[in-house]
Structure 1
Amino acid sequence: MKTSIILFLLWGLSFTVSAQSKPGHISGRVLDEHQKPIEFATVALVSASVDSAFVKATYTDPTGAFAFESLNEGRYRVKITFVGYQNAASPVLVLTPNQPATDMGSIALQPQTKQLSEVVVTGQKAVIEQKIDRMVLNVDALPSNAGATALDVLEKSPGVSVDPNGNVSLKGKKEVMIMLDDKLTYLSGDELVNLLRSMNASQLNQIEIMTNPSAKYDASGNAGIINIRTKKQTVQGFNGTLTLGLGYSPYFKSNDGLSMNYRSGKVNTFFNYGFIQNNGYFNIETHRNFLDANGLKTGELNQSAHRINQNQTNNLKLGMDYFASARTTLGFSLTGFYNPQRPTGETTTRLTDGNGKVDSTLSTPSSGQALWRNGAINVNARHTFGEASAGREISASADLLTYNASNAQNLVTNTYSSDGALLSQLPLRGDIPLDITIFTAKVDYMQPLGQYKFETGVKTATSNTNNQANYFLTTNGVEAPDYGLSNQFKYHESINAVYSNLSRQVGKWYGQLGLRYENTQYTGHQLGNPEKPDSVFVRHYSNLFPTLFVSYKANERNQFVVSVGRRIDRPAYRDLNPFLSIIDRYAYSTGNPFLRPQFTNNFELSHTYNNFLTTTLNYSRTDGFITETLQKQGDVIVRSVGNIAIRDNVGLAISMHLPVTSFWSANLFVNGAYTAFNGTVADLPFQASAFSMNLNLTNQFKLGSGWAAEVSGFYHGRNRDEGQAIIRSISQLSLGLSKQLWDKKASLVFNVRDVFHSQISREIQNFQNVVSTANFTRDTRVANISFVYRFGQSIKGGAARARTSAEDEKDRVKLQ
């Protein structure tokens, strides 16, 4: 089945590439009434000879430029549309052998002044935009995203993958900083997955992917930043979107959302709510062979874990913007997340000796009740100065976030002999609360200095974590605390930063030089109990993070960009906790209080051709690479974390966007990377390397009469994950069909994700005479039908909403 998917994706690539072979060329530039470039205007090329038949379509780039390549000789017209402006059309343009190219120069659009009676989408965005410092995925551009979740959208984004534990990778590297509207989610693992699954795709505007951010951004995340932007309306009047979705895998699911926006005069208010009922399963099949020094098998473990989770997620955001003047904006927002869960499951473990004879069998049924809650408040302000100080701007933002989790666990470990007789029964109850409080504040200032632009800013972030694990054993009907398993860990961290950027445009050249300083201080305190001593550790360090960004626009069709940057990845809070916790009878995990941050130097060279083909060559070296380590202690596997190695990564990425025909457009992303590790694990030399390849392909089809279809898929090749584990290839193929209704005020969408249920994660590990394989399966094949209705009245206008300050700490809260 994987072969079929790969062949299909490559067939789409071959057809796409073959569409470029003819000499004709038409170009131009779209400006607004103030002679400023308009980005994202829709430019259509039609025949002037055959009843205005559609030929091609494209979109203007950040400079307002557009171009049509590979045209036949003939007579054409160009039609330009952009929401809020009057349509424009060119006179007849004639391409001949003697004049195969036409430059239309600058075309100025005039604004519309008529109020619209309803919110109607009049143009279609490109699925992927390649900007000078980032790649942008426009969520609404894919019909199948209607009724999907934010996680579904993220998994389909170019170069992005999500593993079974919810860890997000970008171009094969897991150290990604996840942001939501320019501030971090402060979550990882299952909690981040639950948050993203609670957000309906109809609430999202764009996914921004930045692999080498400037000094203005927090230095965390060596793989870069993924910024999820939600929709923000600042137009006069009332408008909103209602989304209703129903899905089915082996279990029924629902996906609903409501967003509303009202602006009257200087006040803009907004409200967003998302609800998802997501009942699903998660299976893990584990097989371990234990070998002696000669490679002969001495024992075997086979483990099967099946988990069903009843999961409700609720997501709320509301707030207000006050436009005090044309230059000053004040705002605040409140967000909340409420996620009750009821997990049930059973784990069966069978142990055999080297001859295959069953030694014992363990059966561990489990049940629980969990509740995850958070609340956040943000206040922000922005002011731009008058004409005498044109270009000067100051903004400030502050965030207070609280997280609270409760997790009640009940499990019983039943041990059976080889003949099936019950040997022992061990009931265990767990009460695992968690409280996190985070405060962040920042100020940014920008000012022209002659022909230069100067930016500077400061940020402070503090976090306090209180993580408890209280376990109770029942013996002869009497419950008592198990101090050997119980633990309480408190963590305090403070990060203070200052940065500066200096940039200048000189002809075809643009350069930006930046420097960021960050000081980190943290304290960890493991509280003692009658069986364990009290322990405290304190760390502090300061670092500089330079960035360099240079671009050269050779002509209207060729642009080159070079970027260099240094980044840091701090240990997750939980990874510093030295407490030893039990995963099962044969697997433990523990943190490492001596864990150091890892540092990465990134280098990138990219070339963009005609705004549709971008090629990027990148290299990075990570010192003190942090990864999971595995060690064998008797018949137990201990999972920990450590700074094990130097990691070198070199990669080549190709991104392509093409309107193939009048009804078919394609987007392709291919990334190949070579990764090498050189270090030590458990005081033994460790060297490993691997080549990996990722491929994403999305095909869109306009079928007429408001119908549209989508065929999309991805393939992630075999790779080495963080050193010790080899991850086998994984693939997915998804289909979507949509119908626009009621003059595009509503849409009905049907889609099936992971049609062949091929999105199964498999890994292999070989260490200290233990060979381990594991398969992770979840209900990724989902059929979904959704209805989206857009309502209200609006006219064009308004200023952008101010950014918030929380941009780094949330991504390092590792709760599972």
Structure 2
Amino acid sequence: MNKILLFFMSLLISGLMCCGTVSAQAGPGKISGTITDSTAGKPLDFITLNLLDASKTVVKVDYTKADGTFLFSGLKAGGYQLVIVGVGYRNRQVDVTLTDSSGSNLGTITLTPSVTGLKEVTVSAARPVVKQEVDRITYDMQADPESKVYSVLDMMRKVPYLALDADENIQLKGNTDFKILINGKPSSMMERNYKEVLRSMPASSIERIEVITTPPAKYDAEGLAGIINIITYRKIDNGYNGSVNASERFRVGGPGLGGTLSAKFGKLGMTATAGGSQYRVPATLNTVQRSTFGAEASDIAQHGFAKSDSRSGYLSYEVSYEFDTLNLLSAQVNINGSTSSGLTYQTSQLYSRGELLKRYRLDNVNAGSGKGADAAINFQRTSKADKNRLLTLSYRYFGFTNKQDNDLRITDQLNYDVPDYRQVNDQRFAEQTVQVDYVYPIRKLSIEAGLKAIMRLNKSNFGYETALENGGYEVDPAMTNRFRNTQNVFGAYNTYQYNLVSWGFKAGLRIEQTIVDADFFSTDSKVRQNYFNLIPSVSVNRKLKNNSSLNLGYTQRIQRPGIWQLNPFVDRSNPNFERTGNPNLRPAFVNDVQLNYSLNKKGSINFGAGVNTFRDLIFGVAVYNPTTGITRTSYTNSGRARLLMLMTNINYPLTKKWNVSVNVRAAHGRVHGTVNNVPVTNQGIMHQSSVSMGYRFEKEWRLNANVQLNGRNINLQGINNAYTSYSVSLSKDIVKDKLSISAAANNPFTRYRQYKRITNGPDFSQLDYRRDYFRSFNFSLNYKFGKLKDAIKKNKRSIRNDDVQNGN
């Protein structure tokens, strides 16, 4: 009621002021600034601005733009008072003095949300967890108490449009092709192996997660599903603040430690984020059953166990220096690394018409290691005439290495004369990026343009060695090679954004030229590719009554193959089932149309519908070779697909202490492709859904319960089975907003999860079965410290390389 009354009062005051506006104030002076929310730090649009002269007479009235900015021009020298009125915010007054022919940039002005003095009402005014914007949807991690007990990867299940599959790979709208950014910028932490880092990153160190479902033209065209932007928590003022999180997870998992530290001293600001964890997977059962058809029909049965142990760590550091109000320099450095070890053994038996033909036991001792690093520097120049007119120059270097070794020994052989062998795959990636961005606002129109050059180098050195009778090993030249792939992408974009009172429009076009050059040194063969792409994007937002909105978006996206798909290394860790890449892959394309409705009142409700059409889709295709008896999986561009989607996210407070959230996605997919020169079609309904309930007790105790339903997943050659998971967590603030403890039980009454994948080909059928440990327990301790005053300034534009598929 108070907000409604305040709304009508602001309209009445604005109307009276408009009627009393005098036109005598004419001159060269200007007053400008930006209005933001003091809690979230986000710009506020449609805030009423009343400019009064020294006699308290209204001179001008205006409203802030979509980016929170305002500008009063044509003012005479003298003293003024700016009265700021916003629905749901406390009024604020700012005194301004203009000298002859001068302008005054007030910088960032924060508004404080209005609350009553009653404790119960203050507590019930909780921050909304989910917010819909023009081209993205945002999940506020700090508003969810479960962020204190889970990792960022675990919390992804609750974010709209996101889900985790059976192997904890993130899916965005059911697709694993997307890009992850940190604070709007790429990071080696995410590009080498995002699961390792997100497992070790405490969710309490994250402010919010943005799911950009219709990326505008300023973003690189790669990522069929869109972009996930992780905003690290930093409410940074003069002084310092930070947080530390320690956790333990068992039986699957291990200890973890992470934290952040931010500081600002005058014009110098810096932020550091670091963490590390161990992830143990106890011995799990896995089996493979394959039946082939035709004249040489056979059946193979494999049975085994596997266990693994990995350790990972990361460190991120950002620093910025504000020379003056117009010039800002910032830089960032990210490093990460990991090691892993594992042991697998399996027995294999081959039958034909009930007769045992071959048998062996395989022991695989494997080890992996990797590291990544990137560094970037950005310079931002702001125009004197308009603080939103920006020129940004950026440079970034990024590189990583991944190495995998397998030592395989064969025993208990029957009609299987294959010696012990070793294989190694050493992958290296390096990238340099140069970028120029320019933003030019004209009243309600904002124009953005930019140029970008990305120079990439992929390398792979893979080998195969067979054991000799004297105990040594000999290199097999036929299975050893060195691969080098260069990929240069040159792009330019132009974007226009126009805002009215109830309408918002974004439209843009991106052009990209890609040049690919691949060499196989050992076989003296080459691959050359050159392709040009025009990538359009359009977004329309309509503000409706009752704080609701309707968004319509269209974009075209590209999936360029990464080193994991291009690398021709053949993984023979299972002699009967090989995996390899394809250096001849071309990019895939998707046309994406989405319609979203958002309502934010007492709670938040978001509905979405979308249509995706794919061409040249990159599939992993399994083909059986009857001569060798081997099934080899590789990648091809043979796919076409159509996906119809419905998405719902509801976050609603049932009472002052009881909150419920629902996240649902349902889709019907139809996919076409070619398997061993035979046309194949598969279709069906897929769905993921999660329900979470939280209750706040007295004395800062919180209880949360979650249920996730993951439906079957359909691919070109088969399906994966559905499964259900559930968890309950309890947390308590020992020292309010400072120290908290949390505990969680995941699937406490289900020890194992059954994972099944069915793969069909023209001449074979295969069932992969795995029994994983499902039950686990988490404990976490979270501590926040420090107190700050002024926000650190960041470059509004910097390098964003969104154009290469994540490796999973």
CA distance in 2, matches of 1:461, 1:185: 15
Amino acid at match of 1:413: I
Task: Within 5 Å, give how 1:80-99 maps onto structure 2.
Answer: none
Residue 217 of structure 1 aligns to a residue in which SS?
coil
Number of the residue aligned with 1:226: 228
Match of 2:440 in 1: 447
Deviations 1:191-246 (A, max 9, x none): 33223223232332221112211111111112111122222343110211121112
Write out aligned runs for 1:676-695 (5 A): 676-695=670-689
Match of 2:482 among 483, 488, 500: 488
* Residue 735 (structure 1) aligned to one of 715, 728, 731: 728
Work out the CA distance in 2 between the residues paired with 1:754 and 1:406.
34
Report the Cα offset of residue 310 of structure 1.
2.1
* Distance across 2 between alignment mates of 1:322 and 1:281: 48
Q: For the residues of structure 2 that align with 1:327 and 1:782, how far apart are their CA atoms?
A: 52
Q: Is the 8 A contact 2:189 2:335 kept in 1?
A: no
Superposed CA offset, 1:598-620 (max 9, x none): 11111111222345222111111
Map 1:710-729 → 2, pairs under 5 A:
710-721=704-715, 723-729=716-722
Secondary structure of residue in 2 paired with 1:339:
strand
Match of 1:617 among 603, 609, 629: 609
1:653 correspondence with 2:655: no
> Is the contact made by 2:204 and 2:245 (CA closer than 8 Å) also made in structure 1?
yes
1:665 aligns with 2:669: no
Q: Equivalent residues in 2 for 1:510-525 (5 A)? A: 510-525=504-519
Q: Supply the distance in 1 between the matched residues of 2:187 and 2:332 (Cα, whole angstroms).
A: 15
Q: Work out the CA distance in 1 between the residues paired with 2:578 and 2:431.
A: 30
What amino acid maps onto 1:642 in structure 2? T
User: For each residue in 1:436-472, what CA deviation from the matched residue of structure 2 results, as whole angstroms up to 9, or x when unmatched?
Assistant: 2111222221112354211111121111121111222
Which consecutive residues of structure 1, in runs of 5 or more, have no partner in the other structure?
1-22, 43-58, 66-102, 114-120
Which protein, 1 or 2, shows the higher relative CO under an 8 Å CA cutoff with sep ≥ 6?
1
Contact conserved, 2:284 with 2:773, CA < 8 A, in 1?
no
Alignment CA distance shift 1:784-1:630 (3 Å): same
1: CA distance between counterparts of 2:363 and 2:218? 50
The answer as to whether partners of 1:148 and 1:200 remain within 8 angstroms in 2 is: yes
Task: Please provide the CA RMSD for this pair.
Answer: 3.2
Q: Assess, with a 3 A threshold, how the Cα gap between structure 1 residues 763 and 159 changes in structure 2: closer, same or farther.
A: farther
Q: In structure 2, which of residues 599, 618, 625 is the aligned counterpart of residue 633 of structure 1? A: 625
Distance 1:368 1:392, change over 3 A: same
State how far apart, in whole Å, the 1-side matches of 2:597 and 2:414 are: 65
Residues 549 and 561, structure 1, Cα contact 8 Å, conserved in 2: yes
Paired residues of 2:729 and 2:744 also in contact (CA < 8 A): yes
> 1:87-120: CA deviations, max 9, x gaps?
xxxxxxxxxxxxxxxx99564355699xxxxxxx
Alignment partner of 1:632: what SS?
strand
Query: How far has the Cα of 1:25 moved from its partner?
Result: 9.9
Deviations 1:564-622 (A, max 9, x none): 11111112223234454424121122333332211111111122234522211111111
Name the counterpart of 2:280: 279
Query: Is this contact kept in 1: 2:243–2:783, CA < 8 A?
Result: yes
Q: Deviations over 1:113-146 (max 9, x none)?
A: 9xxxxxxx99853332222321112223333332
CA contact (8 A) 1:526 1:577 kept: no
Q: Deviation string for 1:607-660 (max 9, x for gaps)?
A: 223452221111111111111111110121111111223211111111212111
Is this contact kept in 2: 1:663–1:703, CA < 8 A? yes
Q: Are 1:166 and 1:188, in contact at CA under 8 Å, matched by a contact in 2? A: no
* Per-residue deviation, 1:777: 4.2
What is the TM-score of this pair, normalised by structure 1?
Answer: 0.82
**SS, match of residue 479 in structure 2:** coil
Aligned length: 717
- Look up the SS of the partner of 2:150 in the other structure: coil
Flag structure 2 segments of 5+ consecutive residues without an equivalent. Answer: 11-30, 48-84, 93-109, 113-121
Aligned mate of 2:398, from 395, 401, 418? 401
Check whether the contact 2:235–2:788 (CA below 8 A) recurs between aligned residues.
Answer: no
Counterpart in the other structure of 2:361: 363
Contact 2:298/2:352 (8 A) holds in 1: yes
Alignment partner, residue 534 of structure 2: 544
Q: Which residue of 2 aligns with 1:436?
A: 429
Q: Could you tell me which residue of structure 2 aligns to residue 88 of structure 1? A: none
Identify the residue that residue 376 of structure 1 maps to in structure 2.
374
Write out aligned runs for 1:580-599 (5 A).
580-599=570-589
Check 1:549–1:189 CA distance in 2 against 1; reply closer, same or farther (3 A cut).
closer
DSSP 3-state at the match of 1:787? strand
The answer as to whether partners of 1:143 and 1:736 remain within 8 angstroms in 2 is no
Which residue matches 2:179?
A: 177
Q: The residue matched to 2:528 in structure 1 has which SS? A: strand
Distance 1:657 1:397, change over 3 A: same
- Change in 2 beyond 3 A, CA 1:442/1:293: same
Distance in 2 between residues matched to 1:605 and 1:140, nearest whole Å: 28
Matched AA of 1:740 = D
- For residue 433 of structure 1, give the secondary structure of its aligned residue in structure 2: strand
* DSSP-derived class of the 2:420 partner: strand
Does the Cα contact within 8 Å between 1:239 and 1:792 map onto a contact in 2? yes
Q: Is the contact made by 2:152 and 2:198 (CA closer than 8 Å) also made in structure 1?
A: yes
Q: 1:125 aligns with which of 120, 124, 127?
A: 127
| Partner AA of 1:392 in structure 2 | R
Any conservation in 2 of the 1:166–1:192 contact (CA below 8 Å)?
no
**Mapped contact 1:399–1:804 kept (Cα < 8 A):** no
Q: Tell me, yes or no, if the aligned pair for 1:186 and 1:809 is still in contact at 8 Å.
A: no
Aligned equivalent of 2:692? 698
Residues of 2 paired with 1:806 and 1:552: CA distance? Answer: 28
Match of 2:257 in 1: 256
Residue identity matched to 2:241: N
- Following TM superposition, by how much is the alpha carbon of 1:547 offset from its aligned partner in structure 2, in angstroms? 0.8
Secondary structure at the aligned position of 2:135 is classed as coil
Secondary structure in 1 matching 2:254: strand
Q: C-alpha separation between the residues in 2 aligned to 1:304 and 1:62?
A: 60
Equivalent pair of 1:320/1:331 in contact (CA under 8 Å): yes
C-alpha spacing 1:190/1:415, structure 2 compared with 1 (3 Å): farther
Distance in 2 separating the partners of 1:446 and 1:784:
46
Aligned with 1:565 (options 543, 555, 565): 555
- What one-letter code is carried by the residue in structure 2 that aligns with 1:627? F
Q: Is the 8 A contact 2:189 2:336 kept in 1?
A: no
The question of 1:247 aligning with 2:218 is answered no
User: Contact 2:734/2:740 (CA < 8 Å) preserved in 1?
Assistant: yes
Amino acid at match of 1:272: T
SS in structure 1 of the partner of residue 679 of structure 2: strand
SS of equivalent to 1:492: strand
Counterpart of 1:83 in structure 2 is: none
Structure 2 counterpart of 1:326: 325
Contact 2:408 2:573 survives alignment (8 Å): no
Q: After TM superposition, give the deviation of residue 395 of structure 1 in Å.
A: 2.2
- Evaluate the alpha carbon distance shift between residue 703 and residue 109 of structure 1 in structure 2; reply closer, same or farther with a 3 A threshold: farther
Match of 2:452 in 1: 459
Task: Give the Cα separation in 2 of the matches to 1:25 and 1:334.
Answer: 45
Is 282-291 or 731-740 further displaced after alignment?
A: 282-291
- The 5-angstrom pairing of residues 197-236 of structure 1 reads 197-236=199-238
Task: Find the aligned partners of 1:801 and 1:742 in 2 and give their Cα distance.
Answer: 35
1-side partners of 2:462 and 2:306: how far apart? 21
What is the one-letter code of the residue matched to 1:239? N
Name the % identity: 20
**3-state SS of paired residue (1:175):** coil
TM-superposed deviation, 1:284: 6.0
Separation in structure 1 between the aligned mates of residue 734 and residue 221 of structure 2, nearest angstrom: 46
TM-score for the superposition, normalised by structure 2: 0.82
CA separation in 1, counterparts of 2:688 and 2:309?
A: 33
Q: How has the CA–CA distance of structure 1 residues 60 and 277 changed in structure 2, closer, same or farther, with 3 Å as cutoff?
A: closer
**One-letter amino acid matched to 2:564:** R
Q: 1:496 to 1:583 in 2, by over 3 A?
A: same
Aligned counterpart for 1:499 among listed residues 485, 493, 497: 493
CA distance in 2, matches of 1:740, 1:267: 33
2:410 is aligned to 413
Q: Are residue 604 (structure 1) and residue 594 (structure 2) matched?
A: yes
Secondary structure of 2:174's aligned partner:
coil
